[in-house]
Structure 1
Amino acid sequence: MKTVKVTYTVQPSFVEQNKVNVATFINDLKKLNNPNLRYGAFLKEDGKTFVHISSFKNEDVQKVLFELPSFIEFQKQRDNSGLELEPQIETLDHIATTAPTLD
């Protein structure tokens, strides 16, 4: 299982549009109903820093996300919005969870 955490900060004027863009690609992921992919997006207390955490059974499953048109559009708009903090990408090692793992 591969887990990735991405953190970035948008301009206050882009927060609402980013929420819409995130919801759009999350809805598209839900429609795929892929049991080997989990994705969550969160907004920090400052109201403009987003945290995305995704888990994939393997890199082939991760490609499903990277090739999703709504995810590509989300990234394009995010990156062109004048970010306050560029995406920080971290790979996380799984220790334990209450949910079934994707191993």
Structure 2
Amino acid sequence: MINVSVYYQVKPEFVATNKVNIEKFLNDFKNLDSNKFSYSIFLKDDGVTFVHNSSYTDAEIQKEVLNVPSFLEFQKQRDDSGLNNSHKVEVLEFIGSSKKIL
């Protein structure tokens, strides 16, 4: 299993647009096999820091998810908005969960 967390900050004036772009790609993710991945997004209480947590059964589904056109467009707009070097990606080792993840 592949587990990734991504953190980034956007400018306050881009928060609403970022939320709309997230909604678009999450809707498109519903067309994929949800038994093979999970993807969740959170906004920290500072109102500008987003956290994306994703889990994939394997690299094949990860590649499929990350190449959805609306997700690629989300990334482009996010990056073009000016992240001030706040973008951070962490690959996590899965240890356990209170419920079945994938």
Q: Which TM-score applies when normalising by structure 1? A: 0.93
**Is the Cα contact below 8 Å between 1:14 and 1:81 reproduced in 2?**
yes
Deviation, structure 1 residue 35? 0.7
Q: CA RMSD in A?
A: 1.1
The CA deviation at 1:64 is: 1.1
1:17-66 CA distances to partner (integer Å, 9 max, x unpaired)? 00010111011112224311100000000000000000000111101112
In structure 2, the gaps of 5 or more residues are none
Give matches, 1:1-40, under 5 Å. 1-40=1-40
Greater displacement, 37-46 / 26-35: 26-35
Aligned partners of 1:22 and 1:74 also within 8 Å: yes
Matched residue, 1:60: 60
Taking the aligned partners of 1:85 and 1:39, their CA distance within structure 2 comes to 23
One-letter identity of the residue aligned with 1:95: I
Provide TM-score, normalisation by structure 2: 0.94
Q: Which runs of 5+ in 1 are unaligned?
A: none
Q: 1:65, 1:36 → 2: CA distance?
A: 10
Aligned residues: 102
C-alpha displacement of 1:85: 4.1
Choose 84-93 or 43-52, whichever is displaced more. Answer: 84-93
Provide the rounded CA distance (Å) in 1 between the counterparts of 2:40 and 2:12. Answer: 21
